[in-house]
Amino acid sequence: NAGVMQNPRHLVRRRGQEARLRCSPMKGHSHVYWYRQLPEEGLKFMVYLQKENIIDESGMPKERFSAEFPKEGPSILRIQQVVRGDSAAYFCASSQGTGVSEQYFGPGTRLTVT
Amino acid sequence: GENVEQHPSTLSVQEGDSAVIKCTYSDSASNYFPWYKQELGKRPQLIIDIRSNVGEKKDQRIAVTLNKTAKHFSLHITETQPEDSAVYFCAASHHTNTGNQFYFGTGTSLTVIP
């Protein structure tokens, strides 16, 4: 299956801990997007990356959140010192990035902060 | 930047009737318009898309129309079935020298009543 992969699918963290969410793009895709979705709400854009470069991080909170997409390995969204308000579904999506190209979503990581 | 508006936010139809969801966009440079279906607890799935050089596209019971002059596009579902019940998101995108950013509407919750 060459689809977008995310892990873990479910993550439980206590307040103050760190959360690391991983995303492997679809085969042949070099651009990755992260979105956050609260229950019964829409998709909120967070960050757009290509390998070793952040293209757009305008949707990401300035504190506690960071993202990377290294030359080797998956993209990682890192949330430090999690708070209850960080509980949400985090979706990763990928696209080719060249020309007009489709965007496909991964299954999401559901983060619960207790 | 691009602004995508989507209406209605909720829509209920009788099984067998048609459903129409409308979106408007603001950036005339946008040239790719995908639609996603998100079932409860699942990932958004690309169901149909249209590029700006085409006015209409059909795939079995779903169709999308695009009016570039008025900057609006619509999703049409005919002969609706209970399994069409989901949240539908529209998006607008265009390619720049750094990649493709996607701008999403706020979603339409469609309920098909058996």
| Tens-place pLDDT, residues A45-91 | 999 999 999 999 999 999 999 999 999 999 999 999 999 999 999 99
Is residue A1 scored above 80 in pLDDT?
Answer: no
CA angle at B76 for the pair B29 and B96, rounded to the nearest 5°: 15
In this structure, what token pair is assigned to residue B15? 């099984």
Distance from CA of B18 to the nearest CA of A (A): 24
What mean pLDDT, rounded, does chain B reach?
95
- Chain A hits for B46, CB-CB cut-off 8 Å, are 102-104
Dihedral sign for Cα atoms in the order A10, B102, A53, A72: positive
Please state whether beta strands A109-113 and A10-13 pair in parallel, antiparallel, or not at all (unpaired): parallel
- Chain A hits for B107, CB-CB cut-off 8 Å, are 41-43
Provide mean pLDDT across the span B2-27: 97
Calpha distance B24→B37 (Å, rounded)? 18
What φ, ψ does residue A39 adopt, rounded to 5°? -55, 130
Q: Which residue has the higher pLDDT, B105 or B96?
A: B105
Task: Read off the pLDDT band of B84 (50, 70, 90).
Answer: very high
Q: Which pLDDT score, from 0 to 100, does residue B44 have?
A: 97
Calpha distance B49→A50 (Å, rounded)? 23
